[in-house]
Structure 1
Amino acid sequence: MRDPLRRPIRPIRPVGLALLTLASGVLLAGCGPKPAPSPGAAAYQDYCAICHGSRALGDGPIAPELEVPPPDLTLISTRNGGVFPLRAVADTVYGFSGKHEADLMPEFSPLLDGPDVSVPRADGGEEVMPMRLAEVVTYLESLQRP
């Protein structure tokens, strides 16, 4: 006599097996080592996070002590009509006349020197800048939010 509380065991169909395989792959994906941060993310943490914060929100550990509050770097595009101003950001990070004297930001150009690379702009053009600077600027571009 069959037990009324037990359901019959059905074989796993191919679709069910595929879903089970996918689910176990997703679960296991979080178990491996985390990828190393990009060179731009690492440089950002080394040079920028103390003022701008680890998430670039303008809330770094020394931000309250600064005369001019550091801006939220995740809103650069928003403040520029939805376009990331690649050259202006690069100039601000790397250095421009008067920046250092006005005590707005430390001088990073010696730290970010190196071979030049081309960085694509949203309008299809490109900007040429030192590779380490390009890494930081493209990292900042990746952080933009609406």
Structure 2
Amino acid sequence: MATALIVDDDPDWLTLIEIVLGKEGMGTMKCTEGRGAFDVARMEHPDLIILDVFMPGVDGFQLLWQLQNTPETKEIPIVMVSSRDSVMDVSWGERLGAFTYISKNAPFKELAPLLAEAASAALSAAAQDRMSDAG
């Protein structure tokens, strides 16, 4: 079973994302702050990371940069999910290496399928990359 690490300081969003991914057959781990999430990602090596931007301490952009620049975590696909959805924020997330960037400002009935689709696409892309590297 694929496992996702959900990183968000809002417990309601943690629960909502966990439900969406659970319906897709994914196991989940949750973390409410960036510093701890970095350690969990390095030790547990999840198949996917869902990452909020606004968090106390290490924010999502800082964590994304750390994950992309650490050998143990640089291959894990990361989906950014945030209420910060300006063109600059989305562009910055993608430049730092996010697989995609989803706005939390969409109604949940629209957000859930977007999140499920992004998770599936990120996992498929990561699997293809691993197959390409192997052969």
TM-score band w.r.t. shorter chain = under 0.3
Higher strand share: 2
> Which of structures 1 and 2 has the bigger CA Rg?
1
| TM-score of the aligned structures, taking structure 2 as reference length | 0.26
Higher helix share: 2
